[in-house]
């Protein structure tokens, strides 16, 4: 991806504007939820799908939210993506953006092979889909939204 300075940076509000318009379900993400027993129907998940999970996460990002995190007024989408610890949540974003099936399955398999903890599994997915690739998928799928990006706090 070519760097275009400030225009290459999305903040978490802009990412929320994108996630709300993406398909709610993806078959590879659903398979990962089943394999890891993480997500709707497992544990304490209060969301119905990973889109809702992202939207809840991003909506509350400027507050302590349901996760008890440190409130941040405006945050780079890249930082948000890299902080997510839920493996299916991480995988859903590139899947919803239209990533190739072979790469999605490679990310799925990497998460399954990773040490059996969520941070390691999420990191394994991000090695297949680093932010720079996700950001490029966003730019291709949402060029108007992407053109309105500007530099925000880290």
pTM for the complete prediction?
Answer: 0.85
> How many CA atoms lie less than 13 Å away from 61 in the CB half-sphere?
22
Tokens coding 135: 């950001």
How would residue 19 be classed by pLDDT, with cut points 50, 70 and 90? very high
Question: Above 80 in pLDDT, residue 35?
Answer: yes
Return the pLDDT at 68: 67
- 150, pLDDT greater than 80: no
Domain ranges of the chain: 5-147
DSSP string, 89-100: HHHHHHHHTT--
For every residue of 11-32, which 3-state class applies, written as one string?
EHHHHHHHHCCCCCCCHHHHHH
pLDDT value at position 121? 98
SS3 label, residue 40:
coil
Closest CA to 126 of 107, 141, 154, 148: 107
CA separation for the pair 49, 24 (Å, rounded): 6
Give Cβ neighbours of residue 116 (< 8 Å, ≥ 6 apart): none
What confidence tier does 72 reach under pLDDT thresholds 50, 70, 90?
Answer: low
Give residue-wise pLDDT tens across range 100-138.
Answer: 999 999 999 999 999 999 999 999 999 999 999 999 999
């Amino acid at each position: 991806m070519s760097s275009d300075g400030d225009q290459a940076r999305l903040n978490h509000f802009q990412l929320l504007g994108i996630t709300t318009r993406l398909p709610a379900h993806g078959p590879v993400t659903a398979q990962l939820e089943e394999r890891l027993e993480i997500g709707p129907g497992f544990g304490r998940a209060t969301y119905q799908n990973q889109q809702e999970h992202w939207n809840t996460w991003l909506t509350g990002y400027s507050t302590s939210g349901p996760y008890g995190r440190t409130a941040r007024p405006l945050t780079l989408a890249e930082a948000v993506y890299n902080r997510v610890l839920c493996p299916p949540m991480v995988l859903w974003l590139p899947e919803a953006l239209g990533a190739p099936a072979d790469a999605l399955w490679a990310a799925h398999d990497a998460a399954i092979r990773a040490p059996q903890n969520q941070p390691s599994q999420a990191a394994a997915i991000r090695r297949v889909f680093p932010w720079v690739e996700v950001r490029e998928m966003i730019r291709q799928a949402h060029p108007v939204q992407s053109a309105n990006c500007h530099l925000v706090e880290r």
